[in-house]
A and B are shown apart, each in its own frame.
Chain A
Amino acid sequence: MKVFESSCTFDYPWANVSVANWRKYCAWNTQSTHVVAVDTLSRSVDPSTGVLRTERLITCKQSAPRWLMKFVGGTEESFVREVSEVDPSKRTVTLRSTNLTGSNFVSVQETVIYSPDPIAPESKTLFRQDAQITAYGAFSRLCGAIEDWSVERFGQNAMKGRLGFEAVLEMSAKAFREMRSEEAKI
């Protein structure tokens, strides 16, 4: 098993980040081109806790090396199931994702948490991400190679995701400011 971890701070309040999170893979994100579709499978609010639970299907298209395609059954389209929970009283967004495609060979379990930055809780948001990557198989060298490749690719995609999300946050803030100034004119 290999573990990937990263964290960063976004210079936007938690509420804004939590709204923009739903738009993470929109046209403003020109970085995460491997995500081709995001569909909502189910959504509900727990009446006692107020927690919003959302289940989504994320469709990705990304090429993989030929040696790897041979083992995982070689389709370019792959699917990820994400279950997220928004807790408005604690101000957290937790997203848990698992790969549906190729899960007999490699399991990728990712957790992302957005929460107010402890130093500047009203203006900044902390982003924490970790992933556990485990390859299954009889040949440990091959498993090691699959895990290494997966961790590397995961890191590249995570970097693109952060840059792309930064752009979404900036555009959202701009759109919001314009909407406010339009309202002020009326």
Chain B
Amino acid sequence: MSASIDPECSEKKERYDTCFIKWYSEKYLRGESQTDECKDLFKEYQICLNKALKSKGIDAMIEEARKTSPNNDNAKHG
């Protein structure tokens, strides 16, 4: 799996990603999307990640992008 922006979060990210891929391939693609067994791992990873984004000043950049184009679909596609 790919690394996190902050090496401190990579282990938490790895645990979450592994959980997510298992859920995605075994549950989600089979129509069982209601379960959320990765919720706690995601929360742990997010606490670490948000701290890193804040200290690098990237959080503001992301907020701005979310406001201008929530789904990145401003470009015209035919």
Contacts and interface: CB of A to CB of B under 8 A. Distances in A.
Nearest to A14: B29
By size class, the interface of chain B is: 20 to 34
Given A26-B1, A81-B62, A132 B42 contact: no
Nearest to A53: B71
A135 B9 CA distance: 35
By size class, the interface of chain A is: 35 or more
Contact of B21 (A22, A36, A45): A22
Interface in B18-75: 20-21, 24-25, 28-29, 31, 33-34, 42, 45, 49, 53, 58, 61-62, 65, 69-75
Name A's interface SS. Answer: strand
Interface in A80-115: 81-83, 85-86, 88, 96-98, 100-101, 109, 111
Contacts, number: 89
Contacts of B69: 98
A23 interface: yes
Contact of A97 (B9, B16, B53, B72): B72
A62 B13 CA distance: 23
Nearest to B53: A57
Interface of B: 1-5, 9, 13, 16-17, 20-21, 24-25, 28-29, 31, 33-34, 42, 45, 49, 53, 58, 61-62, 65, 69-75, 77
Interface of A: 15, 18-19, 22-23, 25-26, 35-41, 43, 45, 47, 50, 52, 57, 59, 79, 81-83, 85-86, 88, 96-98, 100-101, 109, 111, 130, 132
